[in-house]
Amino acid sequence: MCELLGMECNVLTDIVFSFAGLSGRGGKHGPHADGWGLALYEGRVARVFLEPAAAAESPLARFVREHPIKTLLAIAHVRRKTRGDVSLANTHPFTRELWGRHFVFAHNGTVKNVRKLKLGRFRPMGKTDSEYAFCALLAALEHDFGQTAPTRTALAASIAKHAGRIGKAGTFNLLLGDGDQLYARCSTNLHYIVRKAPFKKATLADEDVSVDFAEVTTPNDRVAVVATMPLTRDESWTAGVPNTMWVFRGGALVKTLAS
C-alpha cells in the first residue's frame, strides 16, 4: 500500500509543508519506504522527481523540501510495494503525454487481474498493477475521444466511468492530474481540505511542525489538498465516500461524481 498527496490551487503555491508530512510517512513514521515521487506542473507539463528509496532519508527529497518549486498542481506518492520490485520503473507517480499535455497518476491499493484490462498504445515500463491500470485508463480515454482533447465535463465523466470500472477489481484510490484539474477517486481511503481565508495555523499530524497560513497567503488564495490520511492534526478534513471521484479546479472542489 501507499500514501497519496495532491495539491491544486488558484495561486502558485509550494507543497513543502504537506510534502514534509508525507515524506515522514516514507520510512520514518510510516512503512512506505520503497520509493517516493513528486510531480509539479508548469502549465501542461509536469516536472517529476522520482526515487526508488525512502523519502524520509533521501537527499533529493530533502533538496525538494529546501528548494520549494511553486506550482498550481502537484501529485506526490510514497510507496510500500505490493506488486513489483523496488525500482525506478515501479515508482509512482507515472506520467504519459496525451493530447499535448502530461497526465500524471498515482495509486493506492491493488487492482487484481489487471492484465485482463485492455491496453492501447500506452505500454507499462515497470511491473506494477498501478502503471498497468493507468495505461488502461489512458487507452480508454483515447478510445472515447480519439486524437481530439475533450471538454472538461466530458473528460471528467469519462475518467469517473473508467476508473470505476477498473476499480471494481480491487482497491483503486487514485490521483490523476492533467495540468488543468485534479481528479481524486476514493475507493476506500481519501481525504481533502480546502484552505482559504480566514487562514489559520496548521500542525502536521506526525511531527511538531506548524505553519501559520495567514502569514504566507493573501485573502483570495485557495489551496485544495488531498491525502490518503489527514496530514494535519488541527484542521477538519473531509473523508471521501467510496466509489466517488472529486474534481478540483482553481483550489476548489468543483464536482463530485459517482465512480
Contacts to its own copies by CB under 8 A: 42-45, 47-48, 50, 52, 59-60, 63, 67, 87-89, 96-102, 121-126, 147
- In the complex with its own copies, the residue whose CB is nearer, 58 or 189, is 58
Q: Which is nearer to its own copies, 113 or 148 (CB)?
A: 148
Mark whether 2 is an active-site residue. Answer: yes
Burial of 188 (0-12, 13-18, 19+ CB in 10 A): middle
Residues 6+ apart with CB under 8 A from 86: 34, 35, 52, 53
Unique residue bearing C-alpha cell 495567514: 214
Contact partners, residue 228, CB within 8 Å, separation at least 6: 2, 3, 4, 5, 108, 173, 189, 190, 191
C-alpha to C-alpha distance for 155 and 170, rounded to whole angstroms: 23
**Residue numbers annotated as active site:** 2
